[in-house]
Chain A
Amino acid sequence: MPSADALRRHLTDLNLTYRPQREWVEGRGLLVVAAHFFSGVGAGAWLFSVALDFDAGLVISAAIVAGLAAPAHLAFLGRRQRFWRAALRPRNSWISRGVWGLAIFLAGAIPYALPAVRDSAFGPVALGVSLAGMTVVLAYKGFVYVASRAIPFWHQPLLPVLYIAYGLRGGAAALLVAGAVAGDVFDIGLLEVIKLWVVVSSAVLVLLYLALARRAGGAGRRSASELVAGKVSPAFYAGTILCGLVIPIVLGALGAATGASRGLLAAVGLSSLVGDFYIKYCIVKAAVYLPIVEDLPAPRRYGTRRAAAGL
Chain B
Amino acid sequence: MASGSGGEDVWIPSVCGMCPDQCGILVHRVDGVVTKIEGNPRSPLGRGRLCARGLAGIQLLYDPHRLNQPLRRGNPEKGIGVDPRWQPISWDEALEAIVERLKQVRAEDPHRLLLCGTPASPAPLAFALGVFMPAFDSPNGFVCDERPNAGVEHMLARSLHGSISMYPDPDFCEYLLLFGADCTSGATAEKMADARVRGMRGVAVEPFLSPAAEKADEWLPIRPGSEGALACALLNLLLNEYRLFDAEYVRRHTDGPYLVRPDGAHARDTASGKPLVWDAAAGHARPFDEDGGDVAIEGTYVVDGEECRSVFELLREAVRRWTPEAAAEATTIHAQTIRGVAREFGEAARIGSTVTIEGRELPLRPAAAVCGPGAYGHDNGRPTALAIALLNEVVGAGDVPGGLLGSGAVSLGRPQTGLPRWVPCADSDGLLQSEPTPENRTDDWPAFDGRFAFDPRPKVLIDCGSNLLMGAAGPERVATLKECFVISVSLYSDETAEALADIVLPDASYLERLDPPQQSSPAGRGDWACQVRQPAVPPLRQRRHFSEVLLEIGQRLGIADAVNARTNIFYGLRLPHTLDPEQRCSWEEMVDRICQGGFGPEHGLAWFRENGVLTWPKRLEEVYWKPFDAARVPLRYEWLAGWQPCRAGRPQIGFDLQAVSYPVPWHASQTCENPWLDEVSQSEPYSYFICLNPRTAAAKGIADGDPIWVESTAGRRVRGRARLTEGVHPEVVAIGGNGGHWARGMPVARGQGAFFNALLTFDLEQPGPTPLAIDGDARVRVYKE
Interface on A for B, CB 8 Å cutoff? 8, 11-12, 14-15
Excluding A11-B679, A12-B682, A15-B685, 6 further A-B contacts by CB distance (< 8 Å) are A8-B682, A11-B682, A11-B683, A14-B683, A15-B683, A15-B684
CA distance A213 to B679 in the complex (A): 35
CA distance A187 to B290 in the complex (A): 120
Inter-chain contacts of B682 with A (CB < 8 A): 8, 11-12
Report the minimum CB–CB distance from B727 to chain A (whole Å): 15
Inter-chain contacts of B685 with A (CB < 8 A): 15
**In chain A, what residue has the closest Cβ to B680?**
A11
CA distance A12 to B685 in the complex (A): 8
Which are the 4 A-B pairs with shortest beta-carbon distances? A11-B682, A11-B683, A15-B685, A8-B682
Inter-chain contacts of A12 with B (CB < 8 A): 682
Inter-chain contacts of A14 with B (CB < 8 A): 683
Give per-residue flags for B664-685: 1 if the beta carbon is below 8 A from chain A beta carbons, else 0.
Answer: 0000000000000001001111
Inter-chain contacts of A11 with B (CB < 8 A): 679, 682-683
Inter-chain contacts of A8 with B (CB < 8 A): 682
Q: Would you list 9 pairs from A and B whose C-beta atoms are within 8 A, ordered by A residue?
A: A8-B682, A11-B679, A11-B682, A11-B683, A12-B682, A14-B683, A15-B683, A15-B684, A15-B685
CA distance A11 to B676 in the complex (A): 12
**In chain A, what residue has the closest Cβ to B681?**
A11
Considering only residues 659-707 of chain B, those with a C-beta below 8 Å from chain A are 679, 682-685
Report the minimum CB–CB distance from B652 to chain A (whole Å): 35
**In chain B, what residue has the closest Cβ to A12?**
B682
Q: At the interface, is chain B mostly helix, strand, loop or mixed?
A: helix
Q: At the interface, is chain A mostly helix, strand, loop or mixed?
A: helix
Inter-chain contacts of B684 with A (CB < 8 A): 15
Report the minimum CB–CB distance from A259 to chain B (whole Å): 54
CA distance A210 to B406 in the complex (A): 64
Inter-chain contacts of B679 with A (CB < 8 A): 11
Report the minimum CB–CB distance from B750 to chain A (whole Å): 14
CA distance A15 to B683 in the complex (A): 7
Report the minimum CB–CB distance from A233 to chain B (whole Å): 18
CA distance A14 to B682 in the complex (A): 10
CA distance A14 to B679 in the complex (A): 12
CA distance A14 to B680 in the complex (A): 12
Report the minimum CB–CB distance from A11 to chain B (whole Å): 5
B679, B682, B684, B685 — most chain A CB neighbours (10 Å) = B682
CA distance A299 to B685 in the complex (A): 26
Inter-chain contacts of A15 with B (CB < 8 A): 683-685
Report the minimum CB–CB distance from B161 to chain A (whole Å): 39
CA distance A11 to B679 in the complex (A): 8
Report the minimum CB–CB distance from A299 to chain B (whole Å): 14
Report the minimum CB–CB distance from A57 to chain B (whole Å): 50
CA distance A15 to B723 in the complex (A): 13
CA distance A3 to B399 in the complex (A): 55
CA distance A8 to B683 in the complex (A): 8
Report the minimum CB–CB distance from A31 to chain B (whole Å): 27
Report the minimum CB–CB distance from A7 to chain B (whole Å): 8
CA distance A50 to B683 in the complex (A): 54
Inter-chain contacts of B683 with A (CB < 8 A): 11, 14-15
Report the minimum CB–CB distance from B648 to chain A (whole Å): 31
CA distance A11 to B678 in the complex (A): 11
CA distance A15 to B685 in the complex (A): 7
Considering only residues 607-631 of chain B, those with a C-beta below 8 Å from chain A are none
CA distance A258 to B682 in the complex (A): 61
Report the minimum CB–CB distance from B59 to chain A (whole Å): 16
Report the minimum CB–CB distance from A293 to chain B (whole Å): 15
**In chain A, what residue has the closest Cβ to B685?**
A15
Report the minimum CB–CB distance from B165 to chain A (whole Å): 34
Report the minimum CB–CB distance from A5 to chain B (whole Å): 11
CA distance A12 to B687 in the complex (A): 12
Report the minimum CB–CB distance from B276 to chain A (whole Å): 60
Report the minimum CB–CB distance from A161 to chain B (whole Å): 38
Considering only residues 591-618 of chain B, those with a C-beta below 8 Å from chain A are none
CA distance A8 to B752 in the complex (A): 12
Report the minimum CB–CB distance from B223 to chain A (whole Å): 29
Report the minimum CB–CB distance from A198 to chain B (whole Å): 42
CA distance A15 to B725 in the complex (A): 14
Report the minimum CB–CB distance from B704 to chain A (whole Å): 11
Considering only residues 519-574 of chain B, those with a C-beta below 8 Å from chain A are none
CA distance A14 to B685 in the complex (A): 10
CA distance A8 to B684 in the complex (A): 11
Report the minimum CB–CB distance from A294 to chain B (whole Å): 16
CA distance A15 to B689 in the complex (A): 14
Report the minimum CB–CB distance from B232 to chain A (whole Å): 37
Report the minimum CB–CB distance from B558 to chain A (whole Å): 52
**In chain A, what residue has the closest Cβ to B682?**
A11
CA distance A7 to B347 in the complex (A): 52
CA distance A15 to B705 in the complex (A): 14
Report the minimum CB–CB distance from B751 to chain A (whole Å): 12
**In chain A, what residue has the closest Cβ to B684?**
A15
Report the minimum CB–CB distance from A291 to chain B (whole Å): 14
CA distance A15 to B679 in the complex (A): 13
Report the minimum CB–CB distance from B332 to chain A (whole Å): 28
CA distance A12 to B682 in the complex (A): 7
**In chain B, what residue has the closest Cβ to A15?**
B685
Give per-residue flags for B51-80: 1 if the beta carbon is below 8 A from chain A beta carbons, else 0.
Answer: 000000000000000000000000000000
CA distance A15 to B686 in the complex (A): 11
Report the minimum CB–CB distance from B689 to chain A (whole Å): 11
CA distance A8 to B679 in the complex (A): 8
CA distance A27 to B682 in the complex (A): 21
Report the minimum CB–CB distance from B482 to chain A (whole Å): 37
CA distance A214 to B679 in the complex (A): 35
CA distance A299 to B414 in the complex (A): 48
**In chain A, what residue has the closest Cβ to B705?**
A12
**In chain B, what residue has the closest Cβ to A9?**
B682
**In chain A, what residue has the closest Cβ to B679?**
A11
Report the minimum CB–CB distance from B785 to chain A (whole Å): 19
CA distance A11 to B682 in the complex (A): 6
Report the minimum CB–CB distance from A37 to chain B (whole Å): 33
Report the minimum CB–CB distance from A76 to chain B (whole Å): 27
CA distance A102 to B571 in the complex (A): 79
Report the minimum CB–CB distance from A4 to chain B (whole Å): 11
CA distance A11 to B683 in the complex (A): 5
Report the minimum CB–CB distance from A287 to chain B (whole Å): 21
CA distance A8 to B688 in the complex (A): 12
Report the minimum CB–CB distance from A8 to chain B (whole Å): 6
Report the minimum CB–CB distance from B309 to chain A (whole Å): 54
CA distance A8 to B721 in the complex (A): 15
Report the minimum CB–CB distance from B684 to chain A (whole Å): 7
**In chain B, what residue has the closest Cβ to A16?**
B685
Report the minimum CB–CB distance from B52 to chain A (whole Å): 15
CA distance A70 to B679 in the complex (A): 37
Report the minimum CB–CB distance from A3 to chain B (whole Å): 14
Report the minimum CB–CB distance from A231 to chain B (whole Å): 13
Report the minimum CB–CB distance from B641 to chain A (whole Å): 47
Report the minimum CB–CB distance from B752 to chain A (whole Å): 10
CA distance A8 to B682 in the complex (A): 7
CA distance A263 to B86 in the complex (A): 70
Report the minimum CB–CB distance from B547 to chain A (whole Å): 38
CA distance A12 to B684 in the complex (A): 7
B679, B683, B684, B685 — most chain A CB neighbours (10 Å) = B683
